[in-house]
Chains A and B, each alone.
Chain A
């Protein structure tokens, strides 16, 4: 079945540091890929998405590129801010079903 694997956390960075959060997937066919962000005590918000190979999703300084050859969708940001402290979830959707498969998530803390 479909699965999403995220790097282990938590991650702590200093403000303005470079961020990479790894995400790899296993799926049949050509899935759509998503990154969601969750601030403490809140629901998830869509951060960015990509629907086909080599697409790059971007939003709020975050980027992720759909790499079919490595089945990856790593999240990057060049300079993190304290306000980026949150949990980040990678997810995929494949086939005709609208269900999403989520990774376990990773918590990011950014210190001033």
Chain B
């Protein structure tokens, strides 16, 4: 079955540590995205990548970093510079603009708790 996997589902870290969240897709999609979800705030875009080896900052990129070395993978690192890292993180992918298929497909999410 094609889809997006995120691991782990729950992640606990101490303050001051960097942590990397995994996102893998086998949908052959070019574009991938990272969102952060907080209660009552909907989804906010952290970073996105429209093609391998290229990515752009979203609305709340500060304190985060990404890489896109392979089409299938788009890991997100939450650095110690992120002031409030505890949140639910969602990864998504889509076909590139121009294909006529604009919807994004989401992974199951990773809940990160930093204490």
A43–B31 CA distance with the chains assembled, in angstroms: 17
Q: Mark B72-112, 1 if CB is under 8 A from A, else 0.
A: 00000000000000000010101111100011111111000
A14–B77 CA distance with the chains assembled, in angstroms: 43
Residues of A within 8 A of B97 (CB): 96-98
Among B48, B94, B95, B107, which residue has its beta carbon within 8 angstroms of that of A43?
B107
Residues of B within 8 A of A44 (CB): 43, 90, 92, 104, 106
The residue of chain B having its C-beta at the shortest distance from the C-beta of A43 within the complex is B106
Residues of A within 8 A of B105 (CB): 46
Contact B40 A104 (CB under 8 A): yes
A34–B105 CA distance with the chains assembled, in angstroms: 12
Contact B106 A89 (CB under 8 A): no
A45–B103 CA distance with the chains assembled, in angstroms: 10
Q: Is A81 interfacial (CB 8 A cutoff)?
A: no
A98–B97 CA distance with the chains assembled, in angstroms: 5
Q: Is B50 interfacial (CB 8 A cutoff)?
A: yes
Q: Is A51 interfacial (CB 8 A cutoff)?
A: yes
A2–B73 CA distance with the chains assembled, in angstroms: 28
- B23-68 residues with Cβ-Cβ distance < 8 A to A are 31, 33, 40-43, 45, 48, 50, 58
> Could you list which residues of chain B lie within 8 angstroms of chain A, going by C-beta atoms?
4, 6, 31, 33, 40-43, 45, 48, 50, 58, 90, 92, 94-98, 102-109
> Could you list which residues of chain A lie within 8 angstroms of chain B, going by C-beta atoms?
32, 34, 36, 41-46, 49, 51, 89, 93, 96-100, 102-105
Known: A98-B31, A100-B104. 16 other contacts (CB 8 A): A34-B103, A42-B108, A42-B109, A43-B108, A43-B109, A44-B43, A44-B90, A44-B92, A44-B106, A89-B43, A96-B98, A98-B48, A98-B50, A98-B96, A99-B45, A105-B43
